Structure 1
Amino acid sequence: MARIDFAPDGLNPPHTHPRGTEILVVVEATATAFAYDLSLLQDFCVAINDPKVFVNGKFCKNPKQVKADDFLFKGFRYPGNTANRLRSKVMPAFVDQFPGLNTLGISMARIDFALGGLNPPPTPPHETAILVVAEGTLLVGFITSNQINNTFTKILCKGDVFVFPIGLIHFQLNIGKTPALAFAALSCHNKGVITIPNAVFRLKPPISADVLNKAFQVDKKVVDYLQAQFWCDNN
């Protein structure tokens, strides 16, 4: 990432990224860039939906029909609704919401936190995530694989940046006295997140209670109770 400061009428002059794609996050008077190395066969591939065919990605719009609006996303202008059990809201800018991202290997999300708000532990099978705090104070962390079996946590304040390696379970919790806001950039253009509590206890059909009983080493009544709960989704 890079921080770019602008004086009045300041200009970041035209430049090119021959080995990566750039995401720009403007928070007050700063900007943040995130690059991901790719080997593209064309300038871009604006997504177009075709419900009859499924591919690993999305089909490309005819370049002659592409407009500037295909590369614009306005979904981060307003706060997300945090009136849920988790007291947080993730507003994604993946290829489904932002067709211009198709094949570029990047995406973003805005995460709003009410007081005590939690973005529950997910694991991202497809992407590395980098988080910048725009407002408030967050406790963040990730859990390593069994090879190391460790937890890395930090308290982040406004302007701090933290990276979550691909595939590792992580979390963000608002521990401050005000609402918090963060923006995440991800190294994949499509959503690939498994929320751990939902995946374990909310599946339909459910995971066998005998499996969960032995895995978590708790009484079957505890498993039955957890599976009966309403597991909130903040996406």
Structure 2
Amino acid sequence: MLQILFFFALLFTFSKNAAAIDFCVANLKRPAGPAGYPCITPTKVRTNDFVFTGLGVAGNTTNLIKAAVTPSFVAQFPGLNGLGLSIARLDLAPGGVVPMHTHPAASEILYVLHGKITAGFISSANSVYVKTLFKGDVMVFPQGLLHFQTNGGGKPASAVVSFNNPDPGLQILDFALFGNNLASSLVEQTTFLDDATVKKLKGILGGTG
């Protein structure tokens, strides 16, 4: 009988403590760990910690890829810390593209606001899944898989993208290969591209070596 009462006492204490931690607004002045950022003191939490107002304005697409991603991740939106979600805005000018990339820490879901977006991903078995999406369409991209988005029409397009992680991570394949100081000889050996092509891409994307 005492063991049963002790069990329920522990259960009550655990439930009470778990319920007391409603949120963990990120302390961005401290380094993040595997579980996210440490929490700021609850008495310093304000309503604005749970509000982000940056997605109502189109991003600047006057760049190499004619695309802009406006992130609302934990670094911009501290109230997301520990909640397992985040959001961003994607803008694509005509001819715009988000090159092949991955999010190591999250799956992604894309909702087209306006325009036409051609998007797709490649599975680990190298199966290709591509679709041209229109206003109101939604597509999901599983965690860690290579995927892309391009403007599928002649007018600007935009979308909202959401992730199941407050910090989804990002690695763009083109920049990983040609935007750093990885030796051209190794890039050529591992991609089967010729030297002239590798040097050209490195020149475009800012790589050396």
**TM bucket, shorter chain:** 0.7 to 0.9
Shift of the 54–158 alpha-carbon distance from structure 1 to 2, 3 Å rule, reads closer
- SS of 1:48's partner is coil
Q: 1:219: Cα distance to partner?
A: 2.0
- 1:126-174 Cα offsets, whole Å, 9 max, x none, are 00000000100110000111xx211100010000000000000101111
TM-score (norm 2): 0.85
Whether the aligned pair in 1 keeps the contact of 2:28 and 2:78 (CA below 8 Å) is no
**Runs (5+) with no aligned partner, structure 2:** 1-17
Q: Which residue number in structure 2 is paired with residue 210 of structure 1?
A: 185
The alignment of Structure 1 onto Structure 2 pairs a total of residues equal to 189
* 1:49 CA displacement: 2.1
| CA apart distance, 1:77 | 1.4
2:118 to 134, 139, 145: 139
SS in 1 for 2:148: strand
Output the CA distance in 1 between the equivalents of 2:27 and 2:104.
24
Partner residue, 1:47: 26
Residue 126 of structure 1 is matched in structure 2 by 105
> Quick one: structure 1 residues 184 and 192, their matched pair in 2 at CA, closer, same or farther if it must change by over 3 Å?
same
| Higher helix fraction (1 or 2) | 2
Distance apart, 1:197 and its partner CA: 0.5
Q: TM-score, normalised by structure 1?
A: 0.76
Q: Which amino acid aligns with 1:171?
A: F
Indicate if the aligned counterparts of 1:115 and 1:177 stay in contact, CA closer than 8 A.
Answer: yes
What residue is the counterpart of 1:108 in the other structure?
87
Aligned to 2:7: none
Greater Cα radius of gyration, structure 1 or 2:
2
Give 5+ residue unaligned stretches, structure 1.
1-38
Deviations 1:66-121 (A, max 9, x none): 11111000001111111112111000000010000001111111001111111111
In structure 2, the residue matched to 1:162 is: 139
Which of 59, 62, 83 aligns to 1:80? It is 59
Give the SS at the match of 1:43.
coil
Q: Distance in 2 between matches of 1:40 and 1:200?
A: 47
Q: Which deviates the most, 108-117 or 213-222? A: 213-222
The alignment partner of 2:189 has SS state of helix
Match of 2:162 among 169, 185, 189: 185
Question: Does residue 175 of the first structure (1) align with residue 152 of the second (2)?
Answer: yes
Give the letter for the 1:149 counterpart: N
CA RMSD of aligned residues (A): 1.9
